[in-house]
Amino acid sequence: MSALMETEPQTHAGKVAIVTGGGRGIGAAIATMLAARGAWVAVLDVDLDLARETAKAFGGFPVACDVADRAQVDAACTAAERELGPADILVNNAGISPKTNGRAFGVQEMPWDEWDRVLAVNLSGAFGMIRALAPGMMARRSGRIVNQASVAGKRYTPIVGCHYTASKAALIGLTKHLSAELGPHGITVNALCPGRIGTALASTVDPRLNEDVLRDTPMGRFGTAEEVARTCCYLTGPDAEFVTGQAVDIAGGWMQT
């Protein structure tokens, strides 16, 4: 982190950012990169120990929050803004992709409570965070919102379940709708669509499915969490003032649309 601090441009100096699911994986990379670029970062995670560990590395503010729980979302946003100041940037990164023995259930086998949980975390979690923070951004006529979708929200992929695909497709829809609704208030809303990124979540899949992805990825490798974080920094930084309503692939050419 200290090496990053010395080399990253200070594009986000003084900005306040809130990152959900920031305790590990892509969210931790985003939180760390935003901090390295000068932002004050609140790390929200359902696992407070993970949030603490990530935040400790750059002096961020860890907050326990299950984004599927409306009361926790409102309390976490209040706590983060009280500690750091009004949020300039919201990154809705928290997401889950349940697997059983390395594979997702088919539609007939999928338990209702698993379907409900995926939609609650991946989609309603982002909706709740935006509901909590957008009014302040609108009042200040400035804000950047980035939703962590997936290429799986654009096309069928056998490595995830229909709940995950539906949640990410809906998140892209939410992104496009809100870019129009919030644009007149000076707020941009974009989505990240990673392909296969080498995180703990990716390792829950049957290795044969990951090998198929690798074979079908023109760049011949999985992406890194840092590569997703760099795209997030672009979308939340000064070079993307006029970029909104976009769902940007970071996928090495996999699943091109």
Ligand X SMILES: NC(=O)c1ccc[n+]([C@@H]2O[C@H](COP(=O)([O-])OP(=O)(O)OC[C@H]3O[C@@H](n4cnc5c(N)ncnc54)[C@H](O)[C@@H]3O)[C@@H](O)[C@H]2O)c1
Minimal distance, residue 184 CB to ligand X, in Å: 28
- Determine, following the binding rule CB under 6 A, whether residue 248 of this chain makes contact with ligand X: no
Task: Please select the residue that binds ligand X; options are 87, 145, 197, 233, rule is CB under 6 A.
Answer: 197
| 18 within 8 A of 80, measured Cβ to Cβ | yes
Q: Which is nearer to ligand X, 52 or 140 (CB)?
A: 52
Using the contact rule CB under 6 A, the part of the chain among 23-31, 34-42, 130-138, 182-190 near ligand X is 23-31
Minimal distance, residue 95 CB to ligand X, in Å: 2
| 143 within 8 A of 89, measured Cβ to Cβ | yes
| 79 within 8 A of 224, measured Cβ to Cβ | no
Task: Please select the residue that binds ligand X; options are 12, 15, 20, 41, rule is CB under 6 A.
Answer: 20
3-state SS, 23-56, equals: CCHHHHHHHHHHHHCCCEEEEEECCHHHHHHHHH
Task: Please select the residue that binds ligand X; options are 12, 17, 19, 23, rule is CB under 6 A.
Answer: 23
Q: Which is nearer to ligand X, 47 or 239 (CB)?
A: 47
Task: Please select the residue that binds ligand X; options are 62, 95, 128, 252, rule is CB under 6 A.
Answer: 95
List helix spans (H) across 64-191.
Answer: 70-84, 112-119, 125-140, 162-182
Tell me, by CB under 6 A, how many residues bind ligand X.
30
Using the contact rule CB under 6 A, the part of the chain among 24-32, 33-41, 83-91, 241-249 near ligand X is 24-32
Tell me whether residue 197 is exposed, middle or buried, using C-beta atoms within 10 angstroms of its C-beta: 0 to 12, 13 to 18, 19 or more.
buried
Task: Please select the residue that binds ligand X; options are 8, 45, 88, 249, rule is CB under 6 A.
Answer: 45
| 201 within 8 A of 25, measured Cβ to Cβ | yes
Task: Please select the residue that binds ligand X; options are 18, 19, 35, 65, rule is CB under 6 A.
Answer: 65
164 is catalytic: yes
Q: Which is nearer to ligand X, 138 or 201 (CB)?
A: 201
DSSP-assigned letter for residue 231: H
Report how far apart, in Å, the C-alpha atoms of 17 and of each of 32, 41, 113, 222, 224 are.
Answer: 11, 5, 32, 27, 21
Binding stretches for ligand X (CB under 6 A): 20-21, 23-27, 45-47, 50, 65-68, 93-97, 121, 148, 150, 194, 196-197, 199-202
